[in-house]
């Protein structure tokens, strides 16, 4: 993608009513339309969506394929895709507007900052779909302890986290991490979800990366675990 195209997309993001952005690690302030500061922490339902419904995050959402798919599947729930890449956010947000999906929104920020933008217990579920496995940097994996500490600060008691991946290292690593935690409970895992009937309809949603992995003959893995303690 050319620099000009990226700059055009970044400019368009400022006009999207379903996109909120943060650019400073040291000053975690959200901006909305036209770059105006907005405080949504603890108030996403009332100040953005306009009604109180369960909120689900898709972390490292890319183009927001799962965010959009879930929003279509569950119109009575709210979904927010989170990613730091503006060009990817633009793609999903633009499609949500074109399809008139008022229950889908996007947050452009670093995932480790989510506690600054969501209040305690404000999030009901988190989806992590085909993240970078960071084979040489375990601490950067989205199921590493440092990230789990952030998730539990915003999840409601009993809130779910879903991991969908093709990578066996990330899958096994996640199970190993969960075995050491007392604040999360492993609920379900499967190293080859399509070898049998799916346990839930959400797993039938497929991202572009998943289609590529399936064409390469890779097995798709899934882990579901639950937050036990509100923070």
Active site residues: 132
Distance (Å, rounded) from C-alpha 163 to C-alpha 169? 13
Continuous H helices in the chain:
3-13, 65-73, 86-98, 145-154, 168-178, 208-215
- The beta-strand segments (E) located in the chain are 19-21, 55-59, 78-83, 104-108, 123-129, 155-165, 184-190, 221-227
CB neighbour list of residue 66: distance below 8 Å, 6 or more residues apart: 58, 81, 127, 129, 205, 207
CB 158 within 8 A of CB 227: yes
**Integer Cα distance of 171 and 176 in angstroms:** 9
């Amino acid at each position: 993608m050319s620099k000009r195209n990226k700059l055009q997309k970044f400019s368009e993001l400022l006009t999207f009513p379903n996109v909120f952005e943060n650019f400073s690690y040291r000053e975690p302030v959200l901006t909305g339309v036209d770059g105006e500061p907005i405080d949504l922490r603890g108030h996403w339902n009332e100040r953005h969506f306009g009604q109180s419904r369960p909120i689900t995050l898709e972390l490292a959402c890319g183009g927001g394929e799962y965010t959009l798919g879930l929003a279509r599947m569950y119109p009575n729930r709210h979904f927010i895709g989170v990613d730091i890449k503006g060009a990817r956010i633009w793609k999903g947000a633009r499609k949500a507007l074109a399809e008139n999906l008022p229950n889908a929104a996007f947050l452009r920020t670093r995932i480790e900052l989510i506690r600054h933008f969501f209040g305690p217990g404000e999030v009901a579920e988190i989806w992590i779909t085909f993240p970078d496995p960071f084979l040489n940097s375990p601490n950067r994996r989205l199921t590493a302890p440092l990230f789990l500490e952030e998730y539990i600060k915003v999840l409601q008691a009993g809130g779910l986290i879903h991991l969908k991946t093709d990578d066996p290292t990330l899958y096994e690593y996640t199970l190993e991490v969960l075995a050491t935690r007392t604040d999360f409970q492993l609920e379900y895992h499967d190293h080859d979800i399509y070898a049998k009937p799916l346990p839930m309809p959400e797993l039938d949603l497929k991202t572009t990366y998943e289609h590529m992995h399936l064409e390469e003959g890779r097995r798709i893995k899934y882990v579901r675990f639950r937050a036990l303690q509100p923070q």
